[in-house]
Structures are given as structure tokens and as C-alpha cells.
Amino acid sequence: MTIYRPARIDDALEIAKVHRAAFGGEDEVKLVGMLEACGDVAASIVAEEDNRVVGHVMLSRMEAEADGTTIEALALAPVAVLPERQGVGIGGALVRTAEATARQLGCQAIFLLGEPGYYGRFDYDVGAARPFESPYAGDYWQVLLIDGGLRETRAGKAKHARAFAALG
């Protein structure tokens, strides 16, 4: 059985292992550490099986506005599942759990950078993100607009937490 729960401090090493194994490098391990060190984490959620962390997703605070009005926005990143447990729905459940958490936090929009082919199935949308200016704007820049009124946005801005810029 897979349990989805808020990460605890003592999960840190296992969370790092998940990102290292899934991404094959240290960038996401550093991103998680920097978001925590900067106090920018809104939610950190693990997937646990048999007392072992097999997946992880993080939501971080960001600054955003739509047509001159500040909005409550979060960034979803990183998300990863241990390679040997991929393809059985854990990543999808983590993305959905992150969305439910964001809704509970009063979030109006969740931004992310990722494969539209994957995130499209969770209603993240490249077109809806287009009006929101960001250094990450482009083919992978997507948003889930929880507040439907934001679909009318003509010009917006979305600024990720500092940790993202530190990674270049």
C-alpha cells in the first residue's frame, strides 16, 4: 500500500535518494535543500511504501500577479518517483495530492515547468500560462488555474522562489 503524507524532517535523506535516482544528478536535491533553507516550502509530500520513501513532491511559495492584482500562487517542483516504482500511478497521485493541498492553502494558481504530455492529464495548461511572464516561459511553462476567473488574465507575472534562480 502507498501512503501519501507530509514529509518529516527525518525523511530528508530518503527524499534526496529519490531525486538522485529519478533525475540522475544533484540539482533537485539542492533545490529541495535550498527551498527549505530559505523558508519557501509551502508543502512537502512523500509517497511511502513499507516505511520507505518512494516518491516526493514539493510546493513552494512564489510571487504572482494577474492584471496588476496579487494572486496566491505556488510552484510545483520537484516531483520524482524511484525508478523501480515508476509507472504505477505514484507520480500522478503525488501531483493530485499536491493540488488538493494547494487548494486547502487557498492557492489560486499552481505553476510548473515540465512535459505537457505528462502534466496535461492533470489539467496543467501551456496556453493558460502564456500571459504570465516568467524567465521559464516557453513550451514547458504550465499552470493549473484553480481560480477560474484567472483565465481572463491578459498580462501577469510569476516569480519563483530564489532557490530556482540559484540553480540557473
Residue number, 37 or 88, with CB nearest to ligand COA: 88
Residue number, 124 or 132, with CB nearest to ligand COA: 124
CB 160 within 8 A of CB 41: no
Q: How far is the CB of 126 from ligand COA (least distance, A)?
A: 13
Q: How far is the CB of 133 from ligand COA (least distance, A)?
A: 21
Residue number, 33 or 114, with CB nearest to ligand COA: 114
Residue numbers at the binding site for ligand COA (CB under 6 A): 22-23, 79-81, 86-92, 114-115, 117-118
CB 18 within 8 A of CB 82: yes
Q: Which residues pair with 160 in a beta bridge?
A: none
Closest residue to ligand COA in the complex (CB)? 91
Burial of 83 (0-12, 13-18, 19+ CB in 10 A): exposed
Amino acid, single-letter form, for residue 106: G
Q: How far is the CB of 152 from ligand COA (least distance, A)?
A: 28
- Cell 503525488 sits on residue: 94
Residue number, 15 or 66, with CB nearest to ligand COA: 15
